[in-house]
């Protein structure tokens, strides 16, 4: 009887140890996966901020160049300058996870700057001498490239966030995510209504 009991105990202990190793291994794997994908998404968010900052850095030079040729468009220049100032007031650090409210505010002020810039570009169509200016044309090339990069980096961030969030929400990884406070990433959403910037062809503005 004693040997039989010891045998049962040995089996139970073995199963428990094996089960613990499996569970522990799964938990460790889930944790490492979450960390890897979270850091990748953070890095992608950093790139989003970089390209938006690049656009903000181009705005003052663009405004000053245009002002020299279109002195009667001060209202438009003021609108662009004020929109840029609002952008500078809404910052999400690259190493932070933006929450939905912060990202919505970030997207709102960036959309307002896009709209103001689009109105400026439309106004600039009236000044052929400005369009022929080498500095202005160079700035337009840089701005066009920056706008394209913004689109690319926003899409890439959404893809990274989707991958991370999908992993985070699947069992048993969601247990580890909740236990260690792995927060979900919000997404950029398509702009609607008044927040949607009019489409402007930068190439047309670079023509003489």
How far CA 172 is from CA of 24, 30, 34, 149, 164, in Å, comes to 12, 8, 12, 36, 14
Give domain status of residue 43, yes or no.
yes
**What pLDDT is attached to residue 203?**
55
d(Cα 204, Cα 128) in Å, to the nearest integer? 11
Give domain status of residue 9, yes or no.
no
Read off the pLDDT of each residue in 26-41 and give the average, rounded to a whole number: 85
Is the model more confident about 28 or about 162?
Answer: 162
d(Cα 187, Cα 167) in Å, to the nearest integer? 15
d(Cα 60, Cα 84) in Å, to the nearest integer? 9
Q: How does DSSP assign 5-38, residue by residue?
A: HHHHHHHHHHHHHHHHHHHHHHHHHHHHHHHHHH
d(Cα 154, Cα 184) in Å, to the nearest integer? 17
Give domain status of residue 7, yes or no.
no
Q: How many domains does the chain have?
A: 1
d(Cα 146, Cα 10) in Å, to the nearest integer? 66
Read off the pLDDT of each residue in 155-184 and give the average, rounded to a whole number: 90
d(Cα 27, Cα 12) in Å, to the nearest integer? 22
**What pLDDT is attached to residue 165?**
95
Domain range spanning residue 36?
Answer: 25-205
Q: Token pair of 171, please? A: 């069992």
Q: Read off the pTM.
A: 0.79
Give domain status of residue 32, yes or no.
yes
Name the DSSP class of 97. Answer: -
Tens digit of each residue's pLDDT (9 = 90 or more) over 81-95: 999 999 988 877 666
Distance from CA of residue 166 to its chain's centroid? Answer: 18
Nearest to 79 by CA among 54, 59, 108, 61: 59
Per DSSP, helices labelled H in 68-133 are 74-89, 100-124, 128-131
**pLDDT class of 40 with cuts at 50, 70, 90:** very high
- What is the average pLDDT score of the chain? 80
Give domain status of residue 196, yes or no.
yes
Give domain status of residue 2, yes or no.
no
Tens digit of each residue's pLDDT (9 = 90 or more) over 115-154: 999 998 888 888 888 888 899 999 999 999 999 999 999 9
Nearest to 140 by CA among 124, 155, 152, 116: 124
Read off the pLDDT of each residue in 103-126 and give the average, rounded to a whole number: 90
**What pLDDT is attached to residue 187?**
93
Lowest mean pLDDT segment, chosen from 18-27, 43-52, 103-112: 18-27
Q: Residue 102: how many CA atoms within 13 Å on its side-chain side?
A: 13
């Amino acid at each position: 009887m004693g040997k039989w009991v010891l045998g049962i105990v040995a089996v139970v202990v073995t199963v428990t140890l094996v089960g613990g190793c499996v569970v522990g291994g799964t938990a460790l794997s889930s944790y490492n996966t979450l960390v890897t994908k979270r850091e990748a998404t953070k890095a992608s968010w950093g790139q989003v901020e970089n390209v938006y900052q690049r656009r903000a850095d181009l705005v003052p030079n663009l405004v000053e160049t245009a002002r020299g040729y279109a002195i009667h468009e001060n209202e438009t220049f003021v609108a662009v300058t004020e929109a840029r100032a609002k952008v500078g007031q809404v910052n999400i650090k690259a190493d932070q996870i933006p929450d939905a409210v912060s990202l919505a505010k970030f997207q709102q002020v960036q959309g307002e700057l896009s709209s103001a810039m689009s109105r400026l570009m439309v106004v600039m169509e009236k000044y052929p001498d400005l369009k022929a200016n080498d500095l202005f044309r160079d700035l337009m090339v840089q701005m066009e490239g920056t706008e394209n990069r913004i689109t690319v980096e926003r899409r890439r961030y959404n893809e990274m966030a989707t991958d991370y969030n999908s992993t985070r929400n699947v069992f048993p990884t969601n247990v580890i995510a909740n236990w260690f406070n792995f927060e979900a990433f919000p997404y950029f959403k398509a702009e609607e209504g008044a927040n949607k910037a009019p489409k402007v062809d930068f190439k047309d503005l670079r023509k003489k």
